[in-house]
Amino acid sequence: MSGGGQRPLLQRIPVATKEVPVTPEQEKQLQHIETELAIASKKLRLVQLRKEIAKTELDTQAVMLRLTQFIETADRENIHMRNQRIINFVTGAIELADYERQHLHECTVCQTMCDTVMRVV
């Protein structure tokens, strides 16, 4: 090696002055890569859509759960016992749930229904 020492690495790399010709084989490979990129992009979109759907399903389940809890609470607090429950209870076919027992203690409408059913059966 002679004079001036070594130049930095980047300056030693030859710069291409004209476009490197692409062979038909390379052209085909490039097209293949572009096709694969397009497919990968579509797959990514599909995964994103699946994620959105899963999230929506979770939201729906949460709403359904809240609705079910709301209806159960309303059942316990505001709605009289179903006649079929009272008949089954009076005939000894079922035992009442705690909240039904509680309701029966406090509700004259359901007590009257119980009395009526007892007289009939």
Closest CB to Zn ion among residues 19, 77: 77
107 near Zn ion, judged by CB under 5 A:
yes
- Which of 87, 72, 79, 80 lies closest to 121, judged by CA? 87
Contact 110, 78 (CB under 8 A): no
Closest CB to Zn ion among residues 90, 110: 110
90 near Zn ion, judged by CB under 5 A:
no
Query: How far apart are alpha carbons 96 and 74 in whole angstroms?
Result: 17
94 near Zn ion, judged by CB under 5 A:
no
Q: Which residue has the tokens 């009289």?
A: 80
Residue nearest to Zn ion (CB): 107
Smallest distance from the beta carbon of 93 to Zn ion, in angstroms?
Answer: 19
Q: Taking CB under 5 A as the criterion, which residues in 39-58 touch Zn ion?
A: none
Between the alpha carbon of residue 15 and those of residues 6, 9, 20, 22, the distances in Å are 18, 12, 11, 17
Q: Taking CB under 5 A as the criterion, which residues in 64-83 touch Zn ion?
A: 80
Residues in contact with Zn ion by the rule CB under 5 A: 80, 107, 109-110
